[in-house]
């Protein structure tokens, strides 16, 4: 029995490159880096001094009571989902016969709410925290708030698997749709890690860049964190056809596995296996792939190992694939990165433009792929892969195909 085909009918997102998909893509294709000097309280005590910060948020149409009960990453998810649903022409309340769900990933949690509670109790001497601390902080909050605000009554769940959270959310939604659990699902991720406590934790790992995010460049010095959210409306082909929806691309396969090796050190074998599984699931051969949006965090080990993994899977065809890390522009949004990078893959397919790896200054013989340095490249993209690899050895790869 053949499984249902799953297509993308809507995109939404916001990050330091812009507060909608049009602005994000325009910045990406022009190689604009949105990373700026960090502007949060207690900055003088932090070694990381740059971040991917979102400017003023668009009006989400929420009242004060709604805003009081949600953390920042929940609000980002709601905004991204609203844009994606609008493009898909999908109003879950008006189209009550449809089963529309939400699967939203996050790599951390509502850190801003937890930090606010610590400050109120330990620094300000209050007897109790703000009443909505738990609903704001719980990792599933973004999915639940997205469901409530947009009236999504289908399967709703949060996914958390560090930096693979968005790709696992997309894979979970894909599987739910293939199994007939829903007609459409808003899938993606949201993250708001730019709080003092989270940044101090990352600082301790000594993998944070001081000047710029330079994936695959010999002088790369580490990753940069950023706020962000991305949402895709995934829909069965049957549902999209019945509604007359515009199909942006097809999500044609996923691959997931674990290194089962180390909590922080990556392996070559795990990422390679995830890419192989994705190709097999999609019915693709290595020569079918035109573009890979790499995990590309700009740490010394990650970029070298991802290069080796790509070469082990694609062999000689690796030299014919365009590769780039858009984290060089929008920073590492942790659990939201995969969703933002999925937008990059779909837009590359739709426009025939591969976004660049920004801030690239010097080729590294250990990263000897075509990493599209600094300037976007025009090429036909029929198939694009989005790679996500995480602490703990979680690996998730998603394949998109032109419609």
Within a domain: residue 1?
Answer: no
Tens of pLDDT, residues 320-329: 999 999 999 9
State phi, psi for 232 to the nearest 5 degrees.
-125, 135
Q: Is 15 a catalytic residue?
A: no
Compute the Cα dihedral for 108, 337, 180, 3 and give only its sign.
negative
Residue 163 is among the residues annotated as catalytic for this protein: yes
How many C-beta neighbours within 10 Å does residue 285 have?
12
The one catalytic residue among 213, 332, 333, 360: 332
Q: Are 86 and 10 in contact (CB under 8 A)?
A: yes
Cβ atoms of residues 190 and 142 within 8 Å: yes
Number of domains in the chain: 2
Question: Please, what is the angle between helix 141-150 and helix 72-88, to 10°?
Answer: 40
Q: How far apart are CA 130 and CA 110, in angstroms?
A: 14
d(CA 37, CA 215): 19
Helix locations, 64-132, DSSP H: 64-68, 72-88, 111-118
Q: What is the DSSP letter of 215?
A: T
In this predicted model, what pLDDT tens digit does every residue of 200-238 receive, in sequence order?
A: 999 999 999 999 999 999 999 999 999 999 999 999 999
Per-residue model confidence (pLDDT) at position 323: 98
Single out the catalytic residue among 163, 252, 278, 367.
Answer: 163
Do 292 and 355 fall within a single domain?
yes
**Identified catalytic residue from 150, 168, 295, 360:** 295
Same domain, 208 and 107: yes
Q: Would 258 be classed as within a structural domain?
A: yes
Q: At how many degrees (to 10) do helices 337-351 and 165-178 cross?
A: 70
pLDDT over 70 percentage in the chain: 99
Residues 6+ apart with CB under 8 A from 365: none
Tell me which residue of 240, 230, 104, 248 sits closest to 183, measured CA to CA.
240
**Sign of the C-alpha dihedral, residues 41, 330, 250, 303?**
negative
Domain annotation covers residue 60: yes
Specify whether 234 is located in the same domain as 90: yes
Q: Tokens 């009443």 belong to which residue?
A: 131
Which residues contact residue 131 at a Cβ distance below 8 angstroms, ignoring those fewer than 6 apart? none
| Domain final residue pick, 196, 213, 243 | 243
C-alpha to C-alpha distance for 174 and 401, rounded to whole angstroms: 14
377 and 233 belong to one structural domain = no
Model pLDDT, residue 294? 98
* CA dist., res. 258 & res. 308, Å (int): 17
Range list of H helices, 264-373: 269-282, 300-314, 327-330, 337-351
d(CA 295, CA 217): 14
Which residues of the chain, if any, have pLDDT below 50?
Answer: none
Nearest CA among 153, 149, 162 for reference residue 185: 153
Domain shared by 138 and 264, yes or no: no
Task: Please tell me whether residue 364 adopts helix, strand or coil conformation.
Answer: coil
In this structure, are 237 and 267 located in the same domain? no
| Exposure of 366 in the CB half-sphere (CA atoms within 13 A) | 15
Rounded-to-integer distance, Cα 151 and Cα 114, Å: 27
Domain membership of residue 351 (yes or no) is yes
What residue numbers bound the domain in which 383 lies? 252-401
Closest CA to 321 of 389, 224, 387: 387
Residue that finishes a domain, picked among 222, 243, 264: 243
Identify the CATH number of the domain in which residue 99 sits.
3.40.47.10
Tell me the angle at which helices 269-282 and 300-314 cross, rounded to the nearest 10 degrees.
40
**pLDDT given at position 1:** 60
Under a CB-based contact definition with an 8 Å cutoff, are residues 142 and 106 in contact? yes
- Identify whether 138 is part of a domain: yes
The helix (H) or strand (E) run that includes residue 79 is: helix 72-88
Between strands 228-236 and 184-191, the pairing is antiparallel
**Residue 356, both tokens:** 């660049």
| pLDDT confidence of residue 128 | 86
User: Whole-angstrom Cα distance, residue 238 to residue 22?
Assistant: 27
């Amino acid at each position: 029995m053949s499984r249902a085909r799953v297509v993308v009918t809507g995109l939404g997102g916001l990050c330091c490159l812009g507060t909608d998909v049009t602005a994000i893509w325009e910045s990406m294709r022009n190689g604009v880096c949105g990373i700026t000097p960090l502007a949060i309280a207690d900055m003088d005590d932090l070694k990381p001094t740059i971040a991917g910060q979102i400017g003023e948020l668009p009006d989400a149409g929420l009242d004060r009571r709604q805003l009081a009960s949600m953390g920042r990453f929940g609000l980002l998810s709601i905004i991204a989902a609203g844009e994606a649903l609008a493009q898909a022409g999908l109003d879950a309340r008006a189209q009550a016969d449809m089963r529309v769900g939400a699967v939203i990933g996050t790599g951390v949690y509502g850190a801003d709410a937890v930090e606010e509670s610590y400050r109120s109790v330990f620094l300000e001497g209050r007897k109790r925290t703000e009443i909505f601390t738990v609903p704001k902080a719980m990792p599933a909050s973004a999915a639940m708030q997205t469901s409530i605000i947009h009236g999504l009554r289908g399967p709703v769940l949060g996914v958390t698997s560090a930096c693979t959270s968005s790709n696992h959310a997309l894979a979970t939604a894909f599987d739910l749709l293939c199994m007939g659990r829903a007609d459409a699902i808003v899938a993606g991720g949201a993250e708001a890690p730019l709080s003092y406590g989270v940044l101090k934790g990352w600082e301790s790992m000594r993998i944070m860049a001081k000047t710029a995010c330079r994936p695959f460049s010999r002088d790369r010095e580490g990753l940069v964190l950023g706020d962000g959210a991305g949402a895709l409306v995934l829909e069965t082909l049957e549902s999209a056809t019945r509604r007359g929806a515009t199909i942006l691309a097809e999500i044609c396969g996923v691959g997931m596995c674990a290194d089962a090796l180390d909590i922080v050190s990556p392996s070559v074998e795990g990422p390679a296996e995830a890419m192989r599984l994705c190709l097999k699931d999609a019915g693709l051969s290595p020569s079918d792939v035109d573009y890979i949006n790499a995990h590309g965090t700009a740490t010394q080990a990650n970029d070298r190992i991802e290069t080796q993994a790509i070469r082990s899977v694609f062999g000689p065809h690796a030299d014919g694939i365009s590769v780039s890390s858009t984290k060089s522009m929008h920073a590492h949004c942790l659990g939201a990165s995969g969703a933002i990078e999925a937008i990059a893959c779909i837009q590359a397919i739709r426009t025939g433009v591969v976004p660049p790896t920004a801030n690239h200054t010097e080729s590294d013989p250990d990263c000897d792929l075509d990493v599209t340095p600094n300037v976007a490249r025009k090429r036909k993209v029929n198939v694009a892969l989005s790679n996500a690899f995480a602490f703990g050895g979680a690996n998730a790869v998603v394949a998109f195909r032109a419609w």
